Amino acid sequence: MMASEVTLLSAGAMEPGMAKVIAAFRRETCHDVKATFATAPAIRKRIGGDEKMDVIVAPREVLDDLVKAGKTAEGGYVTVGRIGVGVTVRDGAPLPKIATVDEFKRSLLNAESVVYNQASTGIYLENLFARLGITEQLKSKTTRYPDATPVLQHISQGKAGEIGLGAITVIIEGQNMGLKLVGPLPAEIQNFTTYYATVVAASVAEGAAREFVRYLTGREAKAAFAAAGIE
């Protein structure tokens, strides 16, 4: 079989697990994968342009735009996994109580500051805080960043009383930079973002791209994703 390079555009929350899966795919096949990671809004913008890519991994609403535009290959998309929202603090800081919705609310209101992103997770949290009736109380002590990386940096280098929120995958990966995963949001208010993979209709490496998408749903990939916090 001739080796091909698959160009992948994936949601950033998938990166911790995806990097391991790509490495395994390279070992087991003759193909390479060139991956770029971005937020869902950035992916939506990029697929509207002329950029060449073979596989996209993103939330359904992003891929639905691709399907409507007739830009997916035959077969639609497959489910890769889902990621919940977690709470993080600086390693060594007191752990806030988040087991119940009331405890979660009190911990946020008592925090020195609350830090989260402006991507899919951040949009959900913004709406959640409005539902919980705490938007105004949090406004003066909230810091938001475009994506996960500066959120993690802020918390790891910040004060003990700060609370960060983000995709559980990126928090787990960030534990080596001085972060502690407190835990997931309480079940009643948890939000899972499900990610799907599709082959782009104009793929120049369609055979290898289809092979990679199939690999994403296999046993080894599922184990790697699970270890990274992707269900």
pLDDT tens by residue, 107-120: 999 999 999 999 88
Amino acid at 226: A
What pLDDT was estimated at residue 1?
Answer: 55
Strand, coil or helix: what is 42?
A: helix
Average pLDDT over every residue of 35-39: 92
Strand, coil or helix: what is 178?
A: coil
Q: Do 94 and 45 fall within a single domain?
A: no
Q: What is the pLDDT of residues 161-194, one digit of tens each?
A: 999 999 999 899 888 889 999 999 999 999 999 9
What pLDDT was estimated at residue 35?
Answer: 96
Q: Into how many domains does the chain fold?
A: 2
Range of the domain at 150: 85-189
Structure tokens at 222: 């599922």
Q: Do 136 and 202 fall within a single domain?
A: no
On whether the CB atoms of residues 168 and 85 are closer than 8 A, the answer is yes
CATH number at residue 158: 3.40.190.10
Q: Do 99 and 181 fall within a single domain?
A: yes
Average pLDDT over every residue of 67-77: 78
Q: Do 178 and 213 fall within a single domain?
A: no
Global pTM reads: 0.83
